Amino acid sequence: MLKVGTEAPAFIATSTKGPVDLKNYLGKNHIVLIFYPGDDTPVCTKQLCAIQDNYASIEQTDTVVFGVNPGEMGKKQSFAERFGYGFPLIVDSDESIRSAYDVGKIFGLFFQQRIVYIIGKDKKIMYAKKGNPPVSELLSVIAQHS
Task: Name the helix (H) or strand (E) containing 118.
Answer: strand 115-119
Concerning whether 44 is annotated as a catalytic residue, the answer is: yes
- Gap between the Cα atoms of 68 and 51, Å rounded: 14
Identity at 34, one-letter amino acid code: I
Catalytic, out of 33, 44, 68, 89:
44
Kindly provide the residue ranges of all beta strands, DSSP E only, lying in 27-108, ordered along the sequence.
30-35, 63-69, 89-91, 105-106
114's CB contacts (< 8 A; 6+ apart) are 35, 36, 37, 43, 44, 47, 130, 131, 132
| Catalytic residue annotation | 44
